[in-house]
Structure 1
Amino acid sequence: VPAVASAADASPQAIAAQMVPADQLASFSQIVSHESGWSVTATNPSSGSYGLGQALPASKMASAGADWKTNPSTQIKWALDYMNSRYGSPNAAWAFWQTHHWY
């Protein structure tokens, strides 16, 4: 029987599946895949945007937790809060992204 991965070992995608509402997960995943390729340390060389959701400035993710630089759960919480507050939902954020190629 395979061992269940601890939260520390879970992939960012698995963590997102636990945190993002099921009817919003596909859109959330599309944005994160395009923005960072699911890399917690993804950094845009020209703008400096950082993390799964490519926060700019990166330090604004500190509002979701002090471990924002390395913790996928903190970055997912921030990105989900951002999508909900700015667009109303990840689905609406993804609709915007498809038109503008940023969010």
Structure 2
Amino acid sequence: MPVIAARMRKSAALLASAAGIGALAMTIAPTAASAATPQEIAASIVPANQLASFSQIVSHESGWNVTATNPSSGSYGLGQALPAEKMASAGADWRTNPTTQIKWAYDYMNSRYGSPNQAWDWWQAHHWY
């Protein structure tokens, strides 16, 4: 009987260890999921058929830097809003939240140009949007 009891204790220890690993994974997973890059966030917001154009504009305007600031104009963020405070219409966290900035830039491209594709056409002709 002592052999069976020892095996049961060992099995119980393994199960407890496995449960601890599972709990650890659950605490790590949300942190990893919230660490999405601005490009990944954009891919979840901007339609696939508009994403390449959106990405081109943001790459040229800010290099995907959420706090990019144009020293001469003061335009700010991923989409280079001017004035920067315009992005507050998308959320109070506009200064540092890439999701808020992407939503604002996408809405801006749609309202001003009709779509990111049309905004990119304009950008290529004028080197600004």
Common fold by TM > 0.5? yes
| Alignment equivalent of 1:6, drawn from 4, 19, 33 | 33
Aligned-partner Cα distance in 2 for 1:52–1:68: 10
| Alignment equivalent of 1:48, drawn from 74, 78, 83 | 74
**1:47-82 deviation per Cα after TM superposition (whole angstroms, max 9, x unaligned):** 000000000000000000000000000000000000
Secondary structure of residue in 1 paired with 2:33: coil
Instruction: Tell me which of the two structures has the higher relative contact order, counting C-alpha pairs closer than 8 angstroms and 6 or more residues apart.
Output: 1
> Which ranges of structure 2 fall in alignment gaps of 5 or more residues?
1-28
The TM-score, its normalising length taken from structure 1, stands at: 0.95
The TM-score, its normalising length taken from structure 2, stands at: 0.76
Residue 103 of structure 2 corresponds to residue 77 of structure 1: yes
Alignment RMSD:
1.6
Q: Which has the higher helix share?
A: 2
Aligned-partner Cα distance in 1 for 2:52–2:100: 19
Identity %: 82
Aligned-partner Cα distance in 2 for 1:65–1:17: 19
In the TM superposition, what is the alpha-carbon distance from 1:6 to its structure 2 partner?
A: 1.8
